[in-house]
Amino acid sequence: MKQYTVAILGATGAVGQEMMKVLEERNFPVGKLVPLASARSAGKKLTFKGQEVTIQEACDDAFAGVDIVLGAAENDIAKRFAPAIVKAGAVFVDNSSAFRLDPKVPLIVPEVNPEDVAWHNGIISNPNCSTIITVTAVNALNSIAPIRAMTASTYQAVSGAGAGGPVELMAEVEALREGKTYEPRIFSHQIAYNLIPQIGGEQVDGYTSEEMKMQNEGRKIMHLPELKVTCTCVRVPVVRSHSISVSCHFDVPVTVEQVRQAIAKAPGCVLVDDLSKKMYPMPLDTSDQDLVFVGRIRPDLTDDCGIALWCCGDQVRKGAATNAIQIAELLVK
């Protein structure tokens, strides 16, 4: 099997570290791994497949001879290095939001629109984590009838804010247990025993940038340019795995049994839906794995052509690292 030189841009971050783990787990044909990070991390060692690899400083020359670059850095870093990556002849699979809505850049969830990989011009975008989990859960319903609109609420784990999120949650819990105060640094308010109904800055009509991603990215991924989405994004005191409550609205009535059958066959999904046995998707069950669990399927009582459901998925893996590596797998195929 052909071996590939793979670089990870932002290798020291949470997503970059998870990418290394997933590359190894999925036995991706890595002939050489090139971990890239800032100058202060250059020279440090990481372990990949039992061997030490040295972190290199990210610079334009670092991409020479690289086949695939997995982006795990912020928007500004992605924009800074994208031209050099493309010029070097590598394909940039980018986890940032820098290129997601660029009409010249495919935005891919491999279980949904793998065919879009064919028209890339050197850059492929990885969608937002909640968007990936949601469209993986609902896309199969488009085979019954196209989804016209969605009403969604996301319940996003603290690790979605980076490695400092779980640290802050645990520190707050400990401080409160001891009767002490704790000044939040990662989140705008105390997250322990609380919910924060804002993720991202305000973008339009009171919706945050995070909330608009569900509509704007969902349209592009599912090839539904008229899709309308009302979304509320909430940070919750859960360490890992995002949960989403979704109502899908169609132009024709759709039955619960049709939906159950479609989801049971959908790639990347697991049907967990038996209320009488208290079986439904939960963050604890979906953490540290790559499938999206779907359940609580029922009629939307406000819409005769609507279906409500609940889904959960690991936002660090399927919502970021694994989805990017699945895209890379499409490339090498």
Q: What is the DSSP string of 267-305?
A: TTEEE--BGGGTB---HHHHTTS-PEEEEEEEE-TT-TT
Residue 18 is given by DSSP the state H
Question: What's the CA gap between 238 and 241, in Å, rounded?
Answer: 8
> Looking at residues 187-199, what average pLDDT do you find?
98
Percent of the chain scored above 70 by pLDDT? 100
Residues 56-113 pLDDT 10s = 999 999 999 999 999 999 999 999 999 999 999 999 999 999 999 999 999 999 999 9
228 φ/ψ angles, rounded to the nearest 5 degrees: -115, 135
137 Cβ neighbours under 8 A, 6+ residues apart = 244, 246, 263, 266, 269, 292, 294, 309, 311, 313
285 — pLDDT class (breaks 50, 70, 90): very high
Q: Is CATH 3.40.50.1820 the right assignment for the domain spanning 4-128+320-332? A: no
| Res 9 pLDDT > 90 | yes
Q: Residue 56: what pLDDT? A: 97
CB 315 within 8 A of CB 130: yes
Q: Is the pLDDT of residue 203 over 90?
A: no
The SS3 of residue 100 is coil
pLDDT at position 73, please?
A: 96
CA–CA distances in Å: residue 179 to residues 112, 168, 173: 49, 16, 10
Q: Is the pLDDT of residue 20 over 90?
A: yes
Task: Encode pLDDT of 148-185 as tens digits.
Answer: 999 999 999 999 999 899 999 999 999 999 999 999 99
Taking residues 128-139, report their average pLDDT.
98
Q: Which fold has domain 132-315?
A: Dihydrodipicolinate Reductase; domain 2 (3.30.360)
Q: Are 97 and 284 in contact (CB under 8 A)?
A: no
Q: Say what the pLDDT of residue 246 is.
A: 98
Mean pLDDT of the chain: 97
Say what the pLDDT of residue 204 is.
Answer: 86
Angle among Cα 60, 52, 57 to the nearest 5 degrees reads 20
**pLDDT of amino acid 1:** 79
Asked if 242 is an active-site residue, the reply is yes
Query: What's the mean pLDDT in 204-221?
Result: 97
Tell me the C-alpha distance between 12 and 314, whole Å. 19
Sheet holding 30-37, edge to edge: 56-57, 30-37, 4-9, 68-71, 91-94, 123-125
Residues 6+ apart with CB under 8 A from 54: 35, 43, 44, 45, 46
Residues linked to residue 295 through DSSP beta bridges, in sequence order: 310
The pLDDT of 197-213, averaged and rounded, is 95
Residues 153-174 as b/e (b if ≥16 CB within 10 A, e otherwise) read bbbbbbbbbeeebbebbebbee
- Strand, coil or helix: what is 56? strand
Q: Of residues 120, 231, 233, 242, which has the active-site annotation?
A: 242
| One-letter amino acid for residue 19 of the chain | M
| Local confidence band at 23 (pLDDT 50, 70, 90 cut-offs) | very high
Which of 120, 129, 231, 248 is catalytic? The answer is 129
Which ranges constitute the DSSP H helices of the chain?
14-25, 75-87, 129-138, 164-177, 209-222, 256-265, 283-286, 322-332
pLDDT reported for residue 49: 95
Burial of 148 (0-12, 13-18, 19+ CB in 10 A): middle
Question: What are the extents of the domains in the chain?
Answer: 4-128+320-332, 132-315
Say if residue 147's pLDDT is above 90: yes
- pLDDT score of 253: 97
Kindly give the interhelix angle for 14-25 and 322-332, rounded to the nearest 10 degrees: 50
pLDDT tens profile 288-333? 999 999 999 999 999 999 999 999 999 999 999 999 999 999 999 8
Asked if the model's pLDDT at residue 137 lies above 90, the reply is yes
